[in-house]
Amino acid sequence: MIMDTIETLLTTAVNAAIGAGGEIMNVYDDPAQDFGIELKADNSPLTKADRRADAAIAAALLPTGISILSEESAHAPYGERRHWERMWIVDPLDGTKEFIKKNGDFTVNIALAEGGTPVAGVIYVPATRELYWGLRGRGAGKASKVGSDRRFADIGELAAASAPLPVAGQQRPFTVVASRSHLSDETRAFIDALRTFHPAMAMMSRGSSLKMCMVAEGLADVYPRFAPTMEWDTAAGHAIATAAGCEVVRADDGTPLAYNKPDLHNPWFIVRRKDGHATTPYAHEL
């Protein structure tokens, strides 16, 4: 595939994410609107905002002719998916629990994957109007004050409106970012072990895919996740983080996370900067 095609697809994904963010905020900000909360089979919540965002994204991405794997839509069986060389991986509202709590830590995630690897991704933060994007071979960026009415004509306009990631010139201690809602005992043990290497280590806590954005932006050095996640939780952040010079790897053997697997669950993983203050070991190295 030529680069111009991937750039065009990223622009489409960016505009789709912004449009979905507008749908989410219409629900979030309406004092007369109940969230229409339902529980899915796994007991995770589903709201009107999830459904509206999913519909908006599908309408924007279907004209590309690329198959879509979305958290909130029916999933094609692996016998069909295994033939998808390219695919969209979508979480219309990542951090639904944070959305319900109204703390702002929720995102729209859209990734383009090729051969099981995310090559382009966008994460839009509707509550703060921040937009993170990454493209293999082009780098990563962050645009601010991106309202729900904004649309980008092409990758050049997007890049011109963005600061490159990671942000340069930051002075801070070695920093770990962890889940606000899913901090497992195994994750705590890994963080405690890191203090041996970094006694002055700092901690951040964020929800949704923002943790991956913090590493990509250079605000954190490592994000360990030793708790359940699905491919749509990580694909967009994976594309952004790797485009920003990070790696997203399995915690057990350090190999990159793979996508479009028969089982859509992710293994435990670590997102870490490759230009960090000092070595961040894998789980099996501690």
Q: How many C-beta atoms lie closer than 10 Å to residue 51's C-beta?
A: 18
71 assigned binding-site residue = yes
If we measure between CA atoms, which residue out of 109, 9, 83, 108 comes closest to residue 260?
83
Q: How many C-beta atoms lie closer than 10 Å to residue 160's C-beta?
A: 11
281 upstream amide cis, omega within 30 of 0: no
- Tell me which residue has tokens 């060389």: 85
Structure tokens at 78: 């692996």
The 3 state secondary structure assigned to 93-125 is EECHHHHHHCCCCCEEEEEEEECCEEEEEEEEE
Helices and strands, number each (H, E), in the chain: 8, 14
| Cβ atoms of residues 114 and 92 within 8 Å | no
**What stretch of H or E contains 70?**
strand 68-70
96 assigned binding-site residue = yes
Structure tokens at 208: 């949704």
Rounded to 5°, angle at Cα 267 from 286 and 104:
100
Q: How many C-beta atoms lie closer than 10 Å to residue 77's C-beta?
A: 8
Q: How far apart are alpha carbons 196 and 219 in whole angstroms?
A: 21
Residues annotated within the binding site for substrate are: 71, 93-96, 233
Residues annotated within a binding site:
71, 91, 93-96, 233
The annotation places the binding site for Mg(2+) at 71, 91, 93-94, 233
